[in-house]
């Protein structure tokens, strides 16, 4: 796909992977819709895009709220009359064992990471089908393939995203609307600024830059594959996990449990993990880690 004059909607666009993706698409001449919870942060990103002489639209929207997403789609279609690429990127995690997370904290992760993707897809898919063109890019995580202690609710949301995307992809066969998942390992963004990650080393030596993942998002728009894992070498680990789970799962579980047992779990004083993290303004990155 060539991006000149295409309309690209990016959730979680105020920082991290979302911001980096907006810049990469803008460099290639696409018109950008920046979606996030904080209008001021979106305007800061919009200023960075101004030098590319494209059309932009900043939409303050919490994707976990279906009525706000409906209004978002109305704004986009009123201004541009079409949508070519939807990047469902907004997401966050709270680190700690399930026993220490409140039901509200667990629900908040699913509401943003999974249902936010559902709401955006449901509101923009009819226009794509009407156009008989479009591409939905869901930014997931390698955690969509590994159930990891300490981030079980986050993993669940990404497992759900992967399953939904695969099913939707089958349903759209025969149309010109496509679905691709981008699943990175740990990404150097403010994803890990949440207090629950305070006692963990922020980034591993193998962690990726947001720009690296953004370039994978652009590649995904021209890919026929269901899932693009970043870096590609990690695909071998995913294959091994599914092929030899009785070997791989105990190794991964043991390594992460040691890390988990050495920290004091964070408990949100508000009972609402989403508010502390500003989920749609954070990028969905993966826990090694989306």
Active site residues: 154
Nearest-CA neighbor of 72 among 25, 36, 115? 36
All residues at 6 or more sequence positions from 272 whose CB lies less than 8 Å from its CB, including other chains: 104, 105, 108
Give, in order, the Cα–Cα distances in Å from 155 to each of 71, 101, 145, 286: 29, 14, 8, 9
**Angle in degrees, CA 32, 273, 9, rounded to 5:** 10
DSSP the chain: ---TT-EEEEESTTSHHHHHHHHHHHHTT-EEEEEES-HHHHHHHHHHHGGG---EEEEE--TT-HHHHHHHHHHHHHHHS--SEEEE-B-----S-GGGS-HHHHHHHHIIIIIHHHHHHHHHHHHHHHHT-EEEEEE--GGGT---TT-HHHHHHHHHHHHHHHHHHHHTBTBSEEEEEEEESBB-SGGGGSGGGTTS-S--TTPBPHHHHHHHHHHHTT---SEEEESGGGHHHHHHHHH-HHHHHHHHHHHHHHHHHTSPPP--TTS-HHHHH-GGGSB--B----
* Prior bond of 231 cis (ω within 30°): yes
């Amino acid at each position: 796909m060539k991006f000149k004059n295409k309309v690209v909607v990016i959730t979680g666009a105020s920082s991290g992977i979302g911001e980096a993706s907006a810049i990469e698409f803008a460099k290639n001449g696409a018109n950008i819709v920046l979606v996030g919870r904080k209008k001021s942060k979106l305007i800061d990103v919009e200023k960075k895009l101004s030098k590319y002489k494209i059309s932009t639209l900043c939409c303050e929207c919490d994707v976990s709220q279906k009525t706000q997403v409906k209004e978002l789609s109305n704004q986009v279609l009123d201004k541009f009359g079409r949508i070519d690429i939807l990047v469902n990127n907004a997401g966050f995690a709270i680190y700690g064992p399930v026993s220490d997370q409140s039901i509200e904290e667990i629900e908040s992760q699913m509401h943003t990471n999974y249902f936010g993707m559902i709401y955006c897809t449901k509101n923009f898919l009819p226009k794509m089908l009407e156009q008989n063109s479009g591409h939905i890019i869901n930014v997931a995580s390698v955690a969509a393939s590994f159930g990891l202690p300490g981030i079980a609710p986050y993993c669940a949301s990404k497992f759900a995203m992967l399953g939904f995307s695969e099913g939707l992809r089958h349903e759209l066969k025969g149309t010109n609307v496509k679905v691709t998942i981008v699943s990175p390992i740990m990404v150097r963004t403010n994803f890990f600024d949440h207090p629950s990650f305070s006692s963990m080393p922020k980034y591993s030596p193998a962690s990726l830059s947001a720009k690296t993942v953004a370039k994978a998002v652009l590649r995904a728009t021209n890919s026929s594959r269901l899932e693009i894992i970043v870096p590609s070498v990690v695909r071998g680990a995913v294959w091994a996990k599914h092929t030899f789970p009785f070997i791989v799962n105990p190794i991964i579980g043991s390594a992460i449990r040691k890390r988990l047992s050495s920290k004091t779990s964070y408990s949100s004083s508000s009972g609402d993990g989403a508010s502390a993290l500003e989920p749609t303004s954070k990028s969905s990155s993966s826990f090694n880690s989306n």
